[in-house]
Amino acid sequence: MKKISLLIALLICVTASAQLDNTFGIKAGTNYSQYTTDFDTYKRKIGYYVGGFFNISISDKTSIRPELLLANQGTKTSIEINNDFNGGAPVIAEGEIVTNINQLMILLPVNFRVELIDRLHLELGLQAGYVVKIQEVLKKVPYDPSLEGERTKYPLSELDRFDFGLNGGLGFDLTDKLELNARYSLGLIELNNFYKTSVISFGLGFKI
């Protein structure tokens, strides 16, 4: 009798889940990220993200959406080299040294979604992150252009690998399968004892 009751309960749960239209999907897009510190040398840079999501419906208007993403984010650095920077002593060549710090991360956002109006959703939630790799790329070197393009890996043992932050954004259903989304993520943990993450992202999702 207990087995029959358990089977009936399971069938009810499956039926309810189907009626609420839980969906899997894939998503990809671009991000605009920056390290937030007390220094003004850090600027935003363009990166990307790819991954998938599972939309768990709570009602016709609300749902919980966990996601698993692989993201290239980080920051751009910009330092102006001139005589003032060098303490008044002559420099080899004046100009701006520009680098990109590419931070490869695995992200796990979990957002609560509510439909504000037809097809437009508000998203609010939390995000955990894990740093896989950090690499600095020289983009502009006025005193030695031959160095441009060189890459340096940061030793991860000297960095905090785990990040945690807040998410907020909007999603719009272009069709029953295709959606457009925009999101802002703000890190709450100070990584490597001096910076937090700040990421603006835009992308498309496709429900499978």
pLDDT in tens, the chain (208 residues): 444 344 334 333 444 444 456 899 999 999 999 999 877 789 999 999 999 999 999 998 999 999 999 999 999 998 877 655 555 555 566 678 899 999 999 999 999 999 999 999 999 999 999 999 999 999 888 777 888 888 988 887 666 789 999 999 999 999 999 999 999 999 999 888 888 999 999 999 999 9
Nearest to 76 by CA among 28, 107, 41: 41
pTM equals 0.82
Q: Domain limits at 176? A: 22-207
Query: How many CA atoms within 13 Å lie on the side-chain side of 13?
Result: 7
- The answer to whether residue 37 is domain-embedded is yes
Q: What is the CATH number of the domain that holds 40?
A: 2.40.160.20
- The answer to whether residue 30 is domain-embedded is yes
- The answer to whether residue 54 is domain-embedded is yes
- The answer to whether residue 3 is domain-embedded is no
Residue 97 vs residues 22, 41, 142, 148, 159: alpha-carbon distances, Å: 49, 10, 7, 10, 24
- The answer to whether residue 64 is domain-embedded is yes
Domain total for the chain?
1
52-65 as b/e, with b when 16 or more CB fall inside 10 Å?
bbebbbeeeeebeb
- The answer to whether residue 8 is domain-embedded is no
Q: In degrees, to the nearest 5, what angle opens at C-alpha 157 toward C-alphas 199 and 167?
A: 20
Residue 185 vs residues 59, 64, 79: alpha-carbon distances, Å: 26, 17, 26
- The answer to whether residue 69 is domain-embedded is yes
- The answer to whether residue 116 is domain-embedded is yes
